Amino acid sequence: MPKIELTTIAGINHGNSYITFPVDIGNIEPLWFEANLTPNFYIRKSKNSRLMGVLTSQIIIRMYQERSFPVRTPSYMPQITVYYLLSSKTKVNSLSLFGKLAHHSNGQQGNFYMEDGSINHKTGNFSTNYYELGFIKTNYNTRYNAAQFFGTTVEIHPPNLTIEELDGFYSLYRWNTIFSIFRLPENNNHNNKNANVSLKGQTTWMFGKLNNWDNFSLNRLNLKLTFFYHPKFLEDIGLFIQIYHGMDYYNIYFSHQINVLHFGIMTEKLRF
């Protein structure tokens, strides 16, 4: 049976760094790549600590298939998260609580709207701050030799910490869920192994006043499903396929509803 440490739980919750190939399928603008950089810095007293802090300097960038290959308005998403291991019946079955403070902006100072009333995607200011509270449950499935993770969180963007132009168009109250399963190698007797394959599903339901949508409109639902395969000849990276449906997560581009299929390479430094 593998041992799942608090750093592993945090790594799964924060996600992996990745870069996509220029072969996206869907209604997203043509890209040479999208890259997500998610370095985590762990703060803890010892390896066995039940309390741990994580500093994350996440950045998402897109290079567009246009003249001069522009990288427009990256998403800057610094975060500080605190995890507490509430209970641990075995090395793998546990319940953890966490709280997060985060910022999301695009580094621009221009007017949010163009003169014609449309959103200024190139230089318009986008900024919000939020906190997130939730828990993560872990367990081990002996039948399939797989580590499983389920988490649910409440995400709140205080209106006084979010630019006023987002009011009514960007959800300030969200309910997030995540489910991940990692298929482990059969010969994992000595632990410290990569998962052969993994599947991660994420959903977000957006509450509050939003684009005059009905309270139960399916437009309020964001869905993401990621399949990852780790070839034996690679150590810390692998191949992934990702399906995303919902509001664009790239800062001021949130007004776009996208359906996209990504292909690319992803880091995978989790060990079980």
Euclidean distance between the first and the last CA atom of the chain, given in angstroms as a whole number? 9
The pLDDT score that the predictor gives to residue 238 is 93
Give domain limits for the chain. 6-267
* Alpha-carbon distances of 190 from 2, 3, 25, 137, 199, rounded to whole Å: 9, 10, 40, 24, 23
- Report the pLDDT averaged over residues 173-201: 82
- The answer to whether 242 and 250 are in contact (CB under 8 A) is no
Total residues belonging to the chain:
272
C-alpha distance from residue 17 to each of 40, 229, 255 (Å)? 10, 15, 25
Which band of pLDDT confidence, cut at 50, 70 and 90, is reported for residue 184? confident
- Options 1.10.10.10, 2.40.230.10, 3.30.1490.100, 3.40.50.2300; CATH for 6-267 is 2.40.230.10
So what's the pLDDT on residue 193? 65
Structural tokens at position 260: 């996209």
pLDDT (tens digit, 9 = 90+) per residue, 203-241? 999 999 999 999 999 999 999 999 999 888 887 899 999
Average pLDDT of the chain to the nearest whole number? 92
Structure tokens at 145: 């030799």
Average pLDDT over residues 18-31: 97
Residue 46's pLDDT band (cuts 50, 70, 90) = confident
- pLDDT per residue as tens digits for the range 64-113: 999 999 999 999 999 999 999 987 655 678 999 999 999 999 999 999 99
Secondary structure tally for the chain: helices H, strands E = 1, 14
pLDDT digits (tens, 9 = 90+) for 136-171: 999 988 888 888 999 999 999 999 999 999 999 999
User: What pTM did the predictor assign?
Assistant: 0.92
